[in-house]
Chains A and B, each alone.
Chain A
């Protein structure tokens, strides 16, 4: 199976500001990918490049096997919902479906209608009069009815209340199960993604910090608690991501290449997804800590 998205040394600059730096990714198909990072990390830039709305400054990208917007066929295979799930406020729900049908060669009108019925949206209602949750569902309906192989959603649930969030994600997962669509979904909240994503990308300060299958990543990372010591005193095969020292105690967040850390005079426990993401965010945004965690620093 070929990658749903392949990026090689991808970069985007705005003047002197780097929005995306040296981004190399290979995402296998059939995943729901969570793209996580603080605001301004470059999530939207990466997504816009992936759907062809932005041209990269450097590097190469292939989405569903071709360059973004290589032609109408490639365009038909990728669905994109921009931040805050935009709709046309003065057009009705029915108008949205009509336009979708006219503009998309693979449009599935039955699916679109069934979803609108299921959501109990009034076809005559203007999109501007819908609630935030309904508007998000309408945007998702239009994107899903296009029957894309890859669906790119930029912060789709950020502005929704918890109930609307859950409802949106239920419908999204249902359509993933039904159509085997791959999804890339961004958020700055891990809790949104924990249930639905099986692939994780952590993006901080324009760089990819971590990428891989969630389950594998969780199986590789541990929190080690022990009496205060240098990280060089830890057994080999453990890469320290972040170290934290108090007077008596040291806490190491490690990535293990050797499976579960050996037993010793420490306690090792697995991380939650949130801890995992925060560990990498912390490392990327706290250069002081980063230098103290560098293996060679302690040796000097």
Chain B
């Protein structure tokens, strides 16, 4: 659990990540709320809320009495196919370290630049 991010959004983020990595694909059944909470000891409302959010995002759909299913794959442009981008990032990280930045500094710079650029796009 990370602080500062609502727990249900953390679950949504994890499912999205699994979709991006191709670990989850269209038609996969998500575990039931009871199965999730019995495994990881979190509040059932948190899981239900995350599933509703996934439905809202069009990533999953609930079939009453059967379960919640993934309705869309995000894996087409999987991260692995973006090798060149990753190479550029690696090169940039080397430069950042050479300039004396450490992990937290790099993270802070990425976060603030990312935020600025998404705000500009709006």
Contact B45 A195 (CB under 8 A): no
Number of interface residues of B (CB under 8 A): 18
CA distance A174 to B41 in the complex (A): 8
Contact residue among B3, B33, B39, B42 (Cβ-Cβ distance under 8 Å from A196): B42
* Chain A residues, Cβ within 8 Å of B8: 215
Known contacts A195-B42, A197-B43: A218-B1 contact under CB 8 Å: no
Q: In the complex, what residues of A have CB within 8 A of residue B46's CB?
A: 198
Residues of B within 8 A of A215 (CB): 6-8
**In residues 2-46 of chain A, which contact B (Cβ within 8 Å)?**
30-32
A174-B34, A270-B4, A272-B4 given as contacts; is B41 within 8 A of A195 (CB)? Answer: yes
Given known pairs A32-B43, A194-B1, A196-B42, the reply for A177 and B6 (CB within 8 Å) is no
- Look across to chain A and name the residue whose beta carbon is closest to the beta carbon of B2: A272
Does B37 have its Cβ within 8 Å of any Cβ on chain A?
yes
Q: Judge whether A30 and B45 touch: CB under 8 Å.
A: yes
Which DSSP category, helix, strand, loop or mixed, fits chain A's interface? helix
Is B45 in contact with A196, judged by CB distance below 8 angstroms?
no
- Inside 8 A of A176's CB, which chain B residues have their CB? 37, 43-44
B85 on the A face (CB < 8 A): no
**A-contact bits for B11-53, CB 8 A (1 contact / 0 none):** 0000000000000000000000110011111111110000000
A178 at the binding interface (Cβ < 8 Å): yes
Number of interface residues of A (CB under 8 A): 28
A169 at interface by CB-CB < 8 Å:
yes
| Closest Cβ neighbor of A166 among chain B residues | B41
**Closest 8 pairs between A and B when the two form their complex, measured CB to CB:** A272-B3, A173-B37, A177-B44, A174-B38, A169-B41, A177-B34, A170-B41, A270-B4
- Please give the residue numbers on chain B whose beta carbons come within 8 Å of chain A beta carbons, in ascending order: 1, 3-4, 6-8, 33-34, 37-46
Contacts A/B (CB < 8 Å), 25 sampled? A32-B45, A170-B40, A172-B41, A173-B41, A173-B42, A173-B43, A173-B44, A177-B37, A194-B1, A195-B1, A195-B7, A195-B40, A195-B41, A195-B42, A195-B43, A196-B41, A196-B42, A219-B6, A269-B4, A270-B3, A271-B3, A271-B4, A272-B4, A274-B3, A275-B3
